[in-house]
């Protein structure tokens, strides 16, 4: 099993099938940022489907080892990367920790959960890359704790240019199991969306802020 175009398309098909990715350009979703978007992604739905869960877990572990070698440990990014990261750590037989979005307001006040005294490097698991800010905030927290970040895997990315630039500036290598262009082609091929909807979804990808603002008018 390799992360060929076939596997990217297969992962995209799975995410559409189980509604981990939902497309609605006519009735857009509102993100936490307040922006309107024609797509909503929640890859935690993978956890409810054993066959798909097994496929992506095995694909992810194989790709991590092929690209980076076997890591010392896995770190999940809260919240979506926690369960998905734990699955990958279990498959690899590795320790697992996770990184909170912010430090706890009680107890030890720590941001990293788990025992990381026995290793010096980690590989990071994220469910989704949007702007890249939350992913790289977790990377920074791990580095601040003295851990080397070998790389990061996300299950899906929107492919925004600012996210690509942030990862480059952070010197954090990453890859994804599938991406927005692959998903859009699969959605079109399978009849999930019309050609007109595909054009609208393409326009959002090119200029998401302008697309959102046009829906607010």
The ranges assigned to domains in the chain are: 5-216
- Residue 6 pLDDT class (50, 70, 90 cuts): very high
* Least confident interval from 12-26, 40-54, 94-108: 94-108
Neighbour tally for 114: CB within 10 Å: 14
Question: Does the structure show a pLDDT above 80 at 168?
Answer: yes
User: What integer is the mean pLDDT of 129-133?
Assistant: 95
Render pLDDT for 38-95 as a digit per residue (tens, 0 to 9). 999 999 999 999 999 999 999 999 999 999 999 999 999 999 999 999 999 999 999 9
| DSSP per-residue letters across the chain | ----HHHHHHHHHHHHHTTSEEE-SSS-EE-TTS-EESEEE-GGGGGG-HHHHHHHHHHHHHHHHHHH---S-EEEETTHHHHHHHHHHHHHT--EEEE-SS--SSTT--SEES--TT-SEEEEEEEEESSSHHHHHHHHHHHHTT-EEEEEEEEEE---HHHHHHHHHHT--EEES--HHHHHHHHHHTTSS-HHHHHHHHHHHH-HHHHHHHHH-
Q: Can you give the pLDDT at residue 1?
A: 52
- Mean model confidence pLDDT for the chain: 95
In the predicted structure, residue 165 carries a pLDDT above the cut 90: yes
Specify the pLDDT at position 181. 97
Average the pLDDT over 198-210 and give the result: 94
pLDDT band at 151 (very low <50, low <70, confident <90, very high): very high
Sorted by sequence, the CB contacts under 8 Å of residue 170 that are 6+ apart come out as: 136, 139, 140
Greater confidence (62 vs 109) lies with: 62
Fold (CATH) for 5-216? Rossmann fold (3.40.50)
Give the pLDDT of residue 217.
64
């Amino acid at each position: 099993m390799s992360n060929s175009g076939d596997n990217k398309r297969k992962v995209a098909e799975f995410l559409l099938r189980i509604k981990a990715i939902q497309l609605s350009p006519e009735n857009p979703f509102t993100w936490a940022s307040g922006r309107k978007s024609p797509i909503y992604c929640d890859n935690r739905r993978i956890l409810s489907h054993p066959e798909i869960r097994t496929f992506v877990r095995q694909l992810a572990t194989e790709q991590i080892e092929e690209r980076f070698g076997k890591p010392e440990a896995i770190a999940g990014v809260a919240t979506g990367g926690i369960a998905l990261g734990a699955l990958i750590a279990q498959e690899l037989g590795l320790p697992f920790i996770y990184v909170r979005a912010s430090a706890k307001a009680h107890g030890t006040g720590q941001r990293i959960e788990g025992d990381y005294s026995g290793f010096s490097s980690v590989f990071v698991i994220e469910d989704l890359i949007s702007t890249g800010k939350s992913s790289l905030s977790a990377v920074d927290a791990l580095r601040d704790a003295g851990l080397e970040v070998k790389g990061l895997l996300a299950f899906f990315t929107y492919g925004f240019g600012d996210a690509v630039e942030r990862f480059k500036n952070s010197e954090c290598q990453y890859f994804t199991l599938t991406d927005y262009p692959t998903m859009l082609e699969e959605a079109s091929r399978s009849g999930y969306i019309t050609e007109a909807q595909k054009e609208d979804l393409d326009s959002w990808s090119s200029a998401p802020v302008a697309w959102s603002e046009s829906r607010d008018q």
